[in-house]
Chain A
């Protein structure tokens, strides 16, 4: 992996994926910082990890019944089904109370589809 791996084009592409616009100054800063950080991250390449299992969570290894497999291991986290349907959740009016724009029933957003 060569230096200056992240280009202007990459910054624009990733900003797009992340739903960020970024000012020209921010893009320049991002280019510099991402390259500097990723150059440091490259030292991970020194380690041979060919036969090493990835660890997504601590509970992959601890706090679970390791004699079980897959989601079975998290048996403690399950609960019995609730007989009378869903448990009570947030009242509708409270759920929309923090919305920047609402008609009282729905969240209101700018037009999604142009025609």
Chain B
């Protein structure tokens, strides 16, 4: 790293080693990144809130360790940012909704606390679709996010701010949440790495709930190795989240070193159907050929229920959302409509004024699916189809170690292109919702660009709790592009 170009530092290791070798202080890194945010983010819109006091206090702790010659934690001084659906003590957390416009959480999300315990410097909170409901970040109640690779296009969603911040060099790594593709699809659109871990791998304590059986927290980074480092930091059982699983956490970074030769990579024709953009298909097929050239065995598999994933997902997700969002009633926190004469009127006016259209639409759909007379036809049916979709993966993983697929059917679309057509927007998640329904891990890694220069993502799925193999295959592929 040259002295005149300190924020060339785009990897965790480059930041940490610059601090360890006293080339830069953690405080200087924080200043550099805030300067970059102030310069770039006016146009991009990735951040909703900056927390300079918290960041510089943490940076000072790291710099003190350096002065005292003490060992540095693995993410020492690394500038990170957090999707605004994870609560941060004393730092405004909105879920990109007006209903939480002034909410100052009294506690920290476990994933954020673990990043900070590992030395990371939290710069601020990142824009997203309201309550993580959307695929383009255009449902933010504050402002949309523009794709740093083409500012006329969306960054994907719902974690659009998390993807854009990494892509624009405004953070070295970020956290997002993924309920139906909200980490992987924006990673694909912005040309960065995004990982959704196994359900239960990362605690959701402090994650503002959207659909509890589908919600996951995971990292965005420039490289597979950095995603592995962040996952290693945030993974593992948390007594504060009873759905976090008591499964040993391997050293994902060390696991990347293992060879991929002989691994069986499944390819399912259902992920290469008629809705797939020709350039995306070519890039993903090219990536699969690369894996073959590394000695992976390419094996055709079938995931026959894939076409039913989106309808099943939108019933399960909205049903759970309608229950989770019942808590926003204007009583204990958040926005309250003024002037109501009765409690019932206050609830209604608060929710009417506080929620945006997509959130209302999903609450309505979910409430309908759960209502008397429709429960069996919609919610129970969708839960049964969820079993079928999960069995598809279980069956496939008896034959293969991972499955390779496109992350999204197209590259990033234009701002405004799908806002008036909710169904078209939902179909942007067609290749990602399956992993949420089944709970398996999935990563998106860049695998090329369209003729217009838009990033394309390769998605790798793996067995439950086998992020190590998923990351290893993604990393091996990534290495073929670097060389």
Contacts and interface: CB of A to CB of B under 8 A. Distances in A.
Nearest to B216: A58
A79 B239 contact: yes
A63 B311 contact: no
Contacts of A100: 330-331, 333-336
B314 interface: yes
B384 interface: yes
Contacts of B343: 109-112
B465 interface: yes
Most B C-beta atoms less than 10 A away, residue of A26, A40, A55, A100 = A55
Interface residues on A, range: 35 or more
B245 A76 contact: yes
B239 A18 contact: no
Contacts of B390: 55, 58, 61
Nearest to B368: A14
A86 interface: no
A47 B377 CA distance: 12
Interface in A1-57: 1, 6, 10-11, 13-15, 17-23, 26, 29-30, 33-34, 36-38, 40-47, 49, 52-57
A70 B439 CA distance: 20
Nearest to A41: B311
B365 A34 contact: yes
A58 B200 contact: yes
Most B C-beta atoms less than 10 A away, residue of A22, A38, A43 = A38
A95 to B, nearest CB: 7
B36 interface: no
Contacts of B331: 99-100, 107, 109
A101 B338 CA distance: 11
Given A100-B330, A112-B343, A63 B200 contact: yes
Most B C-beta atoms less than 10 A away, residue of A52, A76, A90, A110 = A110
A26 B359 CA distance: 12
Contacts of B333: 98-100
B315 to A, nearest CB: 6
Given A20-B360, A44-B311, A109-B331, A10 B423 contact: no
Contacts of B308: 43-44, 46-47
Interface residues on B, range: 35 or more
A18 B344 CA distance: 11
A107 B332 contact: yes
A41 B364 contact: no
Interface stretch (B66-74, B99-107, B138-146, B159-167): B99-107
Contacts, number: 186
Contacts of A76: 237, 245-246
A26 B312 CA distance: 25
Nearest to A51: B384
Contacts of B388: 47, 49, 52
A18 B357 contact: no
Contacts of B438: 58
A53 B386 CA distance: 9
A66 to B, nearest CB: 12
Contacts of B423: 36-37, 40
A97 B92 CA distance: 13
A58 B439 contact: yes
Contacts of A46: 308
A76 to B, nearest CB: 4
A56 B211 CA distance: 11
Nearest to A32: B422
Interface in A45-92: 45-47, 49, 52-59, 61-64, 74, 76-77, 79, 90
B387 to A, nearest CB: 4
Nearest to A78: B242
B322 interface: yes
Given A26-B360, A74-B242, A99-B331, A44 B387 contact: no
B365 A52 contact: no
B312 A94 contact: no
Contacts of A22: 352, 360
Contact of B312 (A34, A44, A95): A44
B371 interface: yes
B189 interface: no
A103 interface: no
Given A41-B378, A98-B103, A63 B199 contact: yes
B18 to A, nearest CB: 38
B336 A101 contact: yes
Given A21-B349, A21-B352, A29-B357, A54 B245 contact: no
8 contacts: A18-B322, A29-B357, A30-B364, A54-B386, A100-B330, A101-B336, A107-B331, A109-B343
Given A22-B360, A61-B439, 20 more contacts: A6-B368, A10-B368, A14-B364, A14-B367, A14-B368, A17-B367, A26-B360, A36-B422, A41-B315, A43-B307, A44-B308, A44-B312, A46-B308, A53-B387, A54-B386, A62-B199, A63-B199, A98-B106, A98-B333, A100-B336
